[in-house]
């Protein structure tokens, strides 16, 4: 059975990637199971999706804990433990990262036993990564090596058809480029064992002890927990106010920001709380003087770290 996991952020098309690959497998005569898994269904939040494909009915369910291939569409997820990108990577698992950096950098950084490949992402594309889903699916299909381009093309068309012809064409163009780029690695991903576990494995069960309600009730003992959760980490684009153009209207952006992430300071200037701005770009759209610009979050972070250098 093939077991593949796609990691990305809500809005980057990981569910679409899993569906394109799933449909392509299905079109090639495989039994298939694919599913997205997300907590809070919000743009920018880490999500993953998975695909299982086998020559017989699939009874396994849920999260893939021993993947043959992990595809990461957004390299900012790698260091976030809760995103679980590295979970279960074994010596035969292939890791494919969409990134602006060289494979050697990732090999050095992650020190994994299995192969690491990169899907190059140009800096200007980093913003929304709108087409990364199709590229990831195509790269995955080529690495797996049992799906033909014709089946992948048909699957891409089928899954993206509701979005219109232009989107399909652009995705196919990108998909084809990824497909061609990974030709040298065709078949690198090896099908895992039919069963994920051996019959002699045993779980480390314990008796759950009784604990008083003071301990065992699901309470949080601090106020303002929503300020503690840095939802700004989900942002893929950053709004930047050009204070020369801002008229200090004092209310439009700050009132309409759905996350109350814009405060007005004592001078009447709007200040964006980047720890909680989720990058929805509503402020950009509503500012009457067009004073708010957008820059890709990756670029903004890079610029910040450059500035921070001594």
Partner 1 sequence: MSRMLVTGNAAAAWGARLARADYVPAFPITPQTEIIETLGGWIEAGELDARMVTLDSEHSMLTAAGAAAATGVRVFTATSSQGLLYAMEMIYTVAGWRAPFVLANVSRALAAPITLEPDHNDVLAARDSGFLQLHAATCQEVLDLTLLAYRLSEDEGVRLPIIVNLDGFYLSFTREPVQIPEPSAVDAFLPAFDPGGLGFSASRPVSQAVAVLGGGPYSYFRYEMHEAARNALAVFDQVAADFGDRFGRHYSPVESYRCDDAEIAFVMMGSFATKAKDAVDQLRDAGQAVGLVRPRMLRPFPDQALRDALVGRRGVAVIDQNLSMGLGGVLHTELSAALCGVPNAPVLASFVGGLGGRDIGASEFFAMVDVAREAARSGMPPVPRLLYTRSELREMRKLQGIAAAERAAAGQPGDGA
287 binds, among ligand SF4, partner 1, none (CB under 5 to 8 A by kind): ligand SF4
Q: Are 8 and 48 in contact (CB under 8 A)?
A: yes
Binding mask 165-204 for partner 1 (x = CB under 8 A): ------------------------------xxx-xxxxxx
5 binds, among partner 1, ligand SF4, none (CB under 5 to 8 A by kind): none
CB of 71 to partner 1, least distance (A): 18
Binding mask 184-223 for ligand SF4 (x = CB under 6 A): ----------------------------------------
Task: Give the nearer residue to partner 1 in terms of CB position, either 20 or 291.
Answer: 20
Q: Are 131 and 16 in contact (CB under 8 A)?
A: no
Residue closest to 294 by CA, chosen among 250, 235, 249:
235
CB of 256 to ligand SF4, least distance (A): 7
Q: What kind and span of H or E run contains 157?
A: helix 149-160
CB of 267 to ligand SF4, least distance (A): 11
Applying CB under 6 A, among 64, 253, 297, 298 the residue interacting with ligand SF4 is: 253
- Nearest 5°: CA angle at 189, between 188 and 194? 145
Binding mask 286-305 for ligand SF4 (x = CB under 6 A): -x-x-xx-------------
CA distances from 63 to 19, 31, 142, 202 (A): 16, 17, 23, 19
User: Taking CB under 8 A as the rule, does residue 16 contact partner 1?
Assistant: no
User: Taking CB under 6 A as the rule, does residue 259 contact ligand SF4?
Assistant: yes
User: Of 67-75, 166-174, 203-211, 241-249, which segment contacts ligand SF4 by CB under 6 A?
Assistant: 241-249
CA separation for the pair 98, 296 (Å, rounded)? 15
CA separation for the pair 113, 86 (Å, rounded)? 12
CA distances from 30 to 13, 56, 58, 281 (A): 23, 8, 10, 42
User: 5-43: string of b/e by CB count within 10 Å (b at 16+)?
Assistant: bbbbbbbbbbbbbbbbbbbbbebbebebbbbbbeeeeee
Which residues contact partner 1 (rule: CB under 8 A)?
A: 19, 22-23, 26, 31-37, 39, 41, 58-63, 195-197, 199-206, 208, 215, 218-222
């Amino acid at each position: 059975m093939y077991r593949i996991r796609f990691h990305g952020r809500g809005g980057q098309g990981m569910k679409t990637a899993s569906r394109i690959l799933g449909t392509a497998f299905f079109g090639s005569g495989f039994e298939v199971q694919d599913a997205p898994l997300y907590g809070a269904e919000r743009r920018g939040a880490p999500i993953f999706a998975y695909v299982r494909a086998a020559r017989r009915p699939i009874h396994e369910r849920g999260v893939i804990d021993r993947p043959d291939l992990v595809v990461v569409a957004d390299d900012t997820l790698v260091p976030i433990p809760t995103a679980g990108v590295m979970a279960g990577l074994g010596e035969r698992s292939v890791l494919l990262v969409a990134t602006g950096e060289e494979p050697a950098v990732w090999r050095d950084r992650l020190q994994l036993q299995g192969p690491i490949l990169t899907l190059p992402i140009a800096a200007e594309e980093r913003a929304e990564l709108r087409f990364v889903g199709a590229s990831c699916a195509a790269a995955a299909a080529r690495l797996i090596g049992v799906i033909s381009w014709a089946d992948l093309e048909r699957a891409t068309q089928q899954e993206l058809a509701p979005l219109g012809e232009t989107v399909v064409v652009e995705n196919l163009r990108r998909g084809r480029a990824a497909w061609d780029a990974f030709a040298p690695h065709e078949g690198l991903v090896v099908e895992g064992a039919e069963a994920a576990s051996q019959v002699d494995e045993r779980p480390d069960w314990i008796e759950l002890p009784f604990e008083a309600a003071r301990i065992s009730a699901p309470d949080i003992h601090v106020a303002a927990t929503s300020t503690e959760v840095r939802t700004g980490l989900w942002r893929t684009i950053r709004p930047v106010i050009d204070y020369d153009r801002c008229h200090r209207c004092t209310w439009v952006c700050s009132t309409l920001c759905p996350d109350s992430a814009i405060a007005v300071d004592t001078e009447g200037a709007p200040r964006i709380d980047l720890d909680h701005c989720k990058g929805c770009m509503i402020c950009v759209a509503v500012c009457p003087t067009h004073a708010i610009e957008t820059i890709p979050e990756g670029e903004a972070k890079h610029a910040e770290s450059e500035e921070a250098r001594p």
